[in-house]
Amino acid sequence: MNLGTNPPVIPSCDTNSANVEAEDICSAPVITCSLVDVTNDCLRTRTLTYTATDVCGNSTNCVQVVTWTVANETTLSIVLDGNNVVLSWPLNCNMFVLEQTSDLNPTSWTPVGAPIVVSGARNTVTVPITANTFYRLRFTPP
């Protein structure tokens, strides 16, 4: 199941009979659950493994995999450096497009044409100073 971006609730182990049940001819099985979370910073995966075991030692598993992404806030830093403007933002797994416009009330934005250089733990773009140029980062969901 994919929960999308920043879900308010992440399913956890729930062995309540309204959530999971098992039947067996040997005995009433006992249901247990184990949970494993894996993350690569933004993409998260939770694996829930439900195990039903009877008194005879027979068991079976049911696995549920839940995925979601976490979108972190990112701030654009703008610094003057001689005749240039250096724009930078932290490296993270969220995808952003650096855009520019020449109007305080723009009807459209265009991507900045200068290349993105990774410097330390930041994405950095250096552009010449120009009059009336405004910049923004636009999040592009995965």
Q: Which residues contact 62 (CB under 8 A, 6 or more apart)?
A: 20, 49, 50, 52
Provide the pLDDT for residue 52: 95
The yes-or-no verdict on residue 142 having pLDDT over 70 is no
End-of-domain residue from the set 45, 69, 93: 69
Each residue of 32-55: pLDDT tens digit? 999 999 987 678 999 999 999 999
Do 59 and 16 share a structural domain?
Answer: yes
Do 49 and 95 share a structural domain?
Answer: no
Do 62 and 30 share a structural domain?
Answer: yes
What is the domain range of residue 133?
77-140
The yes-or-no verdict on residue 140 having pLDDT over 70 is yes
Each residue of 79-98: pLDDT tens digit? 999 999 999 998 876 678 99
Q: Would you put residue 132 in left (φ > 0), alpha (ψ -120 to 50) or beta?
A: left
Number of domains in the chain: 2
Q: Which residue in this structure is represented by tokens 């992440």?
A: 10
Each residue of 21-35: pLDDT tens digit? 998 888 889 999 999
CB 123 within 8 A of CB 97: no
Do 59 and 23 share a structural domain?
Answer: yes
Do 82 and 59 share a structural domain?
Answer: no
The strand order across the sheet containing 95-101 reads 110-111, 95-101, 134-140
Q: How far apart are CA 142 and CA 115, in angstroms?
A: 21
Do 50 and 88 share a structural domain?
Answer: no
Do 62 and 28 share a structural domain?
Answer: yes
- Predicted TM-score of the model (pTM): 0.59
Each residue of 108-132: pLDDT tens digit? 999 998 999 998 888 999 999 988 8
Q: How far apart are CA 126 and CA 80, in angstroms?
A: 10
The yes-or-no verdict on residue 66 having pLDDT over 80 is yes
Do 85 and 62 share a structural domain?
Answer: no
